[in-house]
Amino acid sequence: MKALILAAVFGAVLLAVDTIVAWFAKAHSEGRAINLRLKLIRQGSTPGEALHLLKRSDSVLPASLPAPLLAMGRRFERTLQTAQVTIPTPRLMLILLLGPFALLFSILLLMVLAGIPVGFGRVLLLATFSIVVGSFIPLLVLQMRANRMRKKMQDQFPVALDVFVRGLRAGHPVAAALDLLTVEMPDPIGTQFGMVVDEVTYGADLRDALQTMAERWDLVDMRMFVVSLSVQRETGGNLAEILENLSQVIRERQSLLLKVRALSSEGRMTAVVLTALPILAFASLIMFNPGFYLDVADDPAFVPGFVSLIILYVVGFAAIQRMVNIKV
C-alpha cells in the first residue's frame, strides 16, 4: 500500500509538472508568434477596426487649443502610439486629469472626518502628492514603456529588412513581402507593418503609409528605408540588394549607438536616479510616514521653501535631460 501511494504521488507530481511546462511553453510561443494587431483581429475586430484603434484615429485633438497645449497633446498621443496603448486618448487624459483631484478630495475628506486640521501648507503638500501619484508616475510609466518599445523597434528593424529581402528574392512582390512581416515579426514592428499593409489595402499609397509610420516613430532608419523604396521606384534597380546594404548600414549605426550608450551609461543612470529618487522618496514618506511633512506644513516658511524646491527640481530635470540626450 505504501508503494502504491508513493507511485500515485509520483505520477500526480509528474503529470502536474508536465501540464505546467506544456502550458508555459504554449503561452510563451504564442506570445512570440503573435503581435497586438493579430491579437485584436483574433478577438473579433476587423482589420479596419484594429487599424482605427492602433492609429488612434478617434483621438484627434481640436485645432482650437492654444499652441503649447496642442503640442503637449500631440506629444502625448505619440507617446501612447509608441507605447501601443489602446485606451482612447480623451478617456486616458480624463483619468490623468481627474485622478489627482479625486485623490486629493478623498484625503482631505478623511482628514476632516478624523478631525485633523487642514491648513494651506497641508493642502499644498497633499495636492503635490496627488499630482505625483495620480499623474506624474503614470506618465513616467507610459514614457518608460514607449522608450522600451522604441528601442525594441530599432533592434527589430534590421531583422525585418532581412525578412523583407528574403521575400523579394523568393519572388514575392513588395506588398506580399511586407505582408510576411505582419505574421512573422512580433511587436512592435509586426503591428506597425500590419498597419501599413492595412492602409495600402484601403487605398493609401505604399510610400505615404511607410512615411506615416516613419514620422510616427521618428526613426532615421525608417526614413532611410522609405527613401530607398522611393528612389528604387523612380529609378529602378535591384531592391533586394539596396535593402541588404541598408540593413548593413543600420547595423553599423546601431553598433556605434551602443558604444555611445556604453560610454554615457554612468551619466544616464545618474539622470534616472536624480529624476526618480526625489519623487519616489516624497511619495513613500507621505504614504508610510505622513507626519514627517504634515507636522511642519503649518510653519510659515514651509510654503515658500516647498515651492522653491519644486521649481529647482523642474529646472534640474530640464537641465539633466538636455545633458543626457545624445544624438547619434
- pLDDT tens figures, 205-237: 888 888 888 888 888 888 888 888 888 888 878
Give per-residue pLDDT as tens, 247-282: 898 888 888 888 888 888 888 888 888 888 888 888
The reported pTM is 0.75
Backbone angles phi, psi at 177, to 5 degrees: -65, -35
The whole-number average pLDDT for the span 153-181 is 87
The vertex-280 CA angle with 274 and 286, nearest 5°, equals 135
Q: 3-class SS at 152? A: helix
Residue located via cell numbers 503529470: 15
Tell me: pLDDT of 44 over 60.
Answer: yes
Tell me: pLDDT of 59 over 60.
Answer: no
Residues in the chain, total: 328
Least confident of 266-270, 305-309, 313-317: 266-270
The whole-number average pLDDT for the span 142-152 is 88
Buried b (16+ CB within 10 A) or exposed e, 220-232: ebbebbbebbeeb
| Separation of alpha carbons 127 and 149, rounded Å | 32
| Separation of alpha carbons 254 and 271, rounded Å | 22
pLDDT score recorded for residue 311: 92
Cβ atoms of 132 and 282 closer than 8 Å:
yes
Burial of 125 (0-12, 13-18, 19+ CB in 10 A): buried
> Angle at which helices 302-324 and 265-288 pack, to 10 degrees?
150
Residue 107 contacts by C-beta under 8 Å, 6 or more apart in sequence? 126, 129, 130
Nearest residue to 326 via CA among 277, 276, 256, 246: 256
pLDDT score recorded for residue 327: 67
Q: What is the sign of the dihedral through the CA atoms of 274, 315, 294 and 290?
A: negative
Alpha carbon 16 to chain centroid distance? 37
Cβ atoms of 117 and 136 closer than 8 Å:
no
Could you tell me what percent of the chain has a pLDDT over 90? 1
Residue 62 per-residue DSSP state: P
The whole-number average pLDDT for the span 303-319 is 89
Cβ atoms of 161 and 226 closer than 8 Å:
no
Q: What is the sign of the dihedral through the CA atoms of 10, 15, 16 and 18?
A: positive
Q: Which three cell numbers stand for residue 276?
A: 526618480
